[in-house]
Structure 1
């Protein structure tokens, strides 16, 4: 197996080392104990929407195997565990009747995490809108902000005695851009007219949830998790591609964080949101946050596409040589740049809430016993945590790093073939086997714990 040697990193003494997951990607038990359907249940069961027709019906079966999973987290040595609550598990119809069995599951999970001396970080929304609410318009219906506030109140009142770190949303840019302007994620609307109100109503829901958390847990630490990536034009010499990159940058990096923290939409797309902004909305959205959650994997290239909903498309541009230990291009310097820009633009402490490396390593590197020598993932993580250190040295206020992901899981449209976990999951049996990267991360935490 690959050696797990790592070097000390220059992080603050109270730096938080963690791991992240999300409900639909790991829990399974999709129709058990009163859980209602989400938009992802229907999306993943629609032919052609996911690789191999994979669904989250069983996933990692975390719903039944969480004690084993938390024991692995304890063995890993993480300080914090970021997870999400499944809205339709606790409110099967999205509002109205409460599912006590769903709440009981999260009680058990939270208590088990705390008993392992790990701090739980709770994310209220990681893309699994209850299907019944979608049938009422979902994020395109302004009433959804109130529905989300009611859901947040239920969760925060129930768990706020033990949870002190809350995120309102995970990657609202991805679930709206891919779900409403495109068809890559649920609900696959591919409708410009639906996209803009959905974004604005997500922002209203965020502000409402922050108020709920502040009211019921006054000592809570509150943030939102954004997917932030540098955006480049496919052709620097093309005015159309430069404009496409500018528009994608606004929708990918700015349409949520700017209103949440700065109180306004990006200037060059603000007119698209004006029809949906009512008096007082921006004040409702811009509520005090304690930190920025930043998910990052690599830069994005954009090209002009007048036939798309928003005028741009993803471009597949190769501008760096493949890393010899990984086999494809990586851009750790873009991680440093994005951390610095986020620090300078928003002036809040940053927690890296997702960073990691995906590949079908089960086929390529798993031996007969299920052990995976994921040397390429270790190389990636070494380079990216070093890039994080560079940003710290340049003055960025970075206070934690959460790896994505603790477990191989349901990776949305990629299904089960694209594995990000540092713990291998054999999906037919559910067997868990730590990979070489698990040992590397454990040693990194040990060497760099204050």
Structure 2
């Protein structure tokens, strides 16, 4: 069993579930605009309706309460609160989130709020988005507005969700909104501004939030799994986890944006990794300004949120480190992500050993090929098996003394899965995307038992 106060939860994101994209004064987001471009999103899907959660607070909170979760992680839509990104406040937007928070608290469910989960205001995109030197101040203004309204009610906050993805996929590979392919020079500046936004948000939470407020982030944890339990392979995996750029021998195809140390070190160690300074120093601010910025970026946080779905097996080679070859027919999810339960052991373990902060698994789950059976039920046995395997590995880390405080399943509802539209179903609850009807899956009832018994 986990400790009595272990947090079992589920997670969602605003654009993926809310719908109401053009209602009650909400401003446009880059995802609203991206979905209008032919060929960008699977089958021309949009988030205009999504799960219609904007109109279904009571129904969703009732399902959450019946599920028995202790916490619900959701995000706030920046343009729903500030239609232009800064300036004018949309009262109806704040009312929606306050109503949701109040309903959760009344149901005995702790709100865990993510302040930014990818739906960037379109009006600020037109002013240079994360590339604009003022972008961290824009984010600070937005966070302050939210905290002044909800700060007395909400204890747990996450600043950003997966900046590796919203920068890397949105501005480097062009797969996600807004669909650009910027230079390395621009990307490094954007990452710096994004980290600065995180730091300023933490300071706003400390200023306007509760005295007992807890703040962290929810980042991709790119996990490297040792191919064997040999000391050499374990050290190789740890090296790749936090020095991937160098371990890949500066491979021009290496996506350095996903290196854990690039994002985690400035926040938790107060400095950029050596490889970044050595190879890209001229892309960063001048020394005096960089020192000031890093002081803000490294403002103390309370926990680390890890989004973990899969891992890559690696091993020590004669020359450096190499990716291990998997057996033929290795299991994959509906999204074709590798099924690798050990990621939920090695990810938290390596991360805690380096940074010494309590850990939440802020996302974990799988896309499964779910549909309604003839008897009206959804039999997603693969999801149950997947979760059992991953949670067994998480329990190993927990039993070894890694301070894992909670686990949030992704996702509560089937939802709009970004560029994949409605093709990928991650939810414990099935959603009919034409009517909004919700049907709990078999995994919902399995997870309900986990939440009640605190074991599996």
* Counterpart contact for 1:325–1:375, Cα < 8 Å: no
Q: Is residue 29 of structure 2 the alignment partner of residue 17 of structure 1? A: no
When structure 1 is superposed on structure 2, of 159-168 and 324-333 the one drifting more is: 324-333
User: In the TM superposition, what is the alpha-carbon distance from 1:198 to its structure 2 partner?
Assistant: 1.1
Instruction: Note the alpha carbon deviations across 1:270-325, whole angstroms, 9 max, x for none.
Output: 342653333411111001010000000002589xxxxxxxxxxxx99744754599
Q: Is residue 161 of structure 2 the alignment partner of residue 149 of structure 1? A: no
Structure 2 spans left out of the alignment, 5+ residues = 227-235, 237-245, 315-322
* Counterpart contact for 1:360–1:419, Cα < 8 Å: yes
- SS for the counterpart of 1:433 is strand
Q: Is residue 343 of structure 2 the alignment partner of residue 334 of structure 1? A: yes
Listed as ranges, the matches of 1:178-189 within 5 Å are 178-189=169-180
Structure 2 partner of 1:136: 127
Structure 1 partner of 2:318: none
Structure 2 partner of 1:376: 382
Q: Is residue 361 of structure 2 the alignment partner of residue 352 of structure 1? A: yes
Report the CA distance shift for 1:177/1:49 in structure 2 as closer, same or farther (over 3 A). same
Structure 2 partner of 1:418: 424
Q: 1 or 2 for the larger relative contact order (CA 8 Å, sep ≥6)?
A: 1
Structure 1 partner of 2:98: 107
Report the CA distance shift for 1:316/1:426 in structure 2 as closer, same or farther (over 3 A). farther
- The separation in 2 between residues aligned to 1:273 and 1:124, in whole angstroms, is 30
Q: Is residue 209 of structure 2 the alignment partner of residue 201 of structure 1? A: no
Report the CA distance shift for 1:152/1:240 in structure 2 as closer, same or farther (over 3 A). closer
* Counterpart contact for 2:199–2:296, Cα < 8 Å: yes
* Counterpart contact for 1:173–1:255, Cα < 8 Å: no
Report the CA distance shift for 1:213/1:116 in structure 2 as closer, same or farther (over 3 A). same
User: In the TM superposition, what is the alpha-carbon distance from 1:334 to its structure 2 partner?
Assistant: 2.4
CA RMSD of aligned residues (A): 2.5
User: In the TM superposition, what is the alpha-carbon distance from 1:251 to its structure 2 partner?
Assistant: 3.2
User: In the TM superposition, what is the alpha-carbon distance from 1:20 to its structure 2 partner?
Assistant: 0.4
Structure 1 partner of 2:310: 298
* Counterpart contact for 1:404–1:420, Cα < 8 Å: yes
Q: Is residue 213 of structure 2 the alignment partner of residue 220 of structure 1? A: yes
Structure 1 spans left out of the alignment, 5+ residues = 1-9, 303-314
Report the CA distance shift for 1:397/1:404 in structure 2 as closer, same or farther (over 3 A). same
* Counterpart contact for 1:152–1:212, Cα < 8 Å: yes
Which residue of 37, 53, 62 corresponds with 2:28?
A: 37
Q: Is residue 274 of structure 2 the alignment partner of residue 267 of structure 1? A: yes
How high is the TM-score relative to the length of structure 2? 0.87
* Counterpart contact for 1:225–1:294, Cα < 8 Å: yes
- The separation in 2 between residues aligned to 1:272 and 1:110, in whole angstroms, is 43
* Counterpart contact for 1:167–1:225, Cα < 8 Å: yes
When structure 1 is superposed on structure 2, of 174-183 and 184-193 the one drifting more is: 184-193
Aligned residues: 421
- The separation in 1 between residues aligned to 2:328 and 2:337, in whole angstroms, is 9
